[in-house]
Amino acid sequence: MKCEILISCEHAVADIPTDFLDCFRSSQAERALNSHRGFDEGALDLALFLRERLSIKRPNCFHAGTASRLLIDLNRSETHRALFSDFTRNLPPDKKSRLIAEYHRPYRTGIIEALKSRIAAGKTVVHLSVHSFTPVLNGKVRRPDIALLYDPRRKNEKIFADLWIDTLKQESTERALPIQTGRNDPYRGTADGCTTAMRRLFSADRYIGFEIEINQRLLTQIQGTGEGFRVFPDEIKNLVERSLLLAMRR
């Protein structure tokens, strides 16, 4: 399957702009920012790794959020009730509008314009939205190590997902990596999100959207960085990249 790749990482960082720091002064907010609620740990590092290894040269084909999802969630629609978190939900309307205008709308518009450009050039685009998830949520252990979220009603997404997951299983077995794969788990691929929004705008034969979800139990500490800076090990990043390339060649 010959395609171009666009990478996005909505929950890349836990940063809060100076003008909104007052919303996050409490110890509760600090804990949330440093947890899975604040950002997707390891996701940006994986997204950057894939950009380099897949030789994505076009600047408009890589997009990463620059503020915490607790400020405004780039993976939610403007009208979604979870667009703003517990810490920003009660902001005055003008400040909410400012966050949408400065963070959410430009991010979505950048992705839309990039997709329009490549599709107008006759390309089929695979959009990889890179995420990670906490191993346990509300007492429930999440089974998958690496999962793909997609819309099974879209033929090309279903075909590509089958190829990719089969290749993931094969490659992980050959590398002696005990990886559990998942489909639309721990979230539904059709739930509100960036790829879901793009599906409404672009045809199934030209747009193939996936959320890659990696379990944070696979994260490893970077030596010499102290507490808190963890990434996915090279063997996991290489597995994701290699299986993707092999699936695209089929």
Q: What does 14-32 look like in DSSP terms, one character per residue? A: ----GGGGGGG-SHHHHHH
Residue 250 has a pLDDT of: 80
- pLDDT tens readout for residues 18-64: 999 999 999 999 999 999 999 999 999 999 999 999 999 999 999 99
Domains annotated on the chain, with CATH = 4-11+41-58+100-249 (3.40.630.40)
Sequence-distant (6+) residues with CB within 8 A of 110 are 60, 63
pLDDT in tens, 143-194: 999 999 999 999 999 999 999 999 999 999 999 999 999 999 999 999 999 9
% of the chain beyond a pLDDT of 90: 94
pLDDT of 72: 99
At residue 1 the predicted structure's pLDDT band, cuts being 50, 70 and 90, is low
Is 60 exceeded by the pLDDT of residue 199? yes
Kindly report the backbone phi and psi dihedral angles of residue 16, in degrees, each rounded to the nearest multiple of 5, phi listed first: -125, 125
Q: Looking at the predicted structure, is the pLDDT value of residue 79 above 80?
A: yes
Query: Does residue 48 sit in helix, strand or coil?
Result: helix
pTM of the model: 0.96
Mean of per-residue pLDDT scores for the chain: 96
Burial track 7-26 (b if 16+ CB lie within 10 A, e otherwise): bbbbbbbbebeeebeebbee
Whether pLDDT at 116 is above 80: yes
pLDDT confidence of residue 226: 55
Q: What mean pLDDT comes out for the span 192-217?
A: 98
Using pLDDT thresholds of 50, 70 and 90, give the confidence band for residue 65.
very high
Question: What's the pLDDT score for residue 227?
Answer: 58
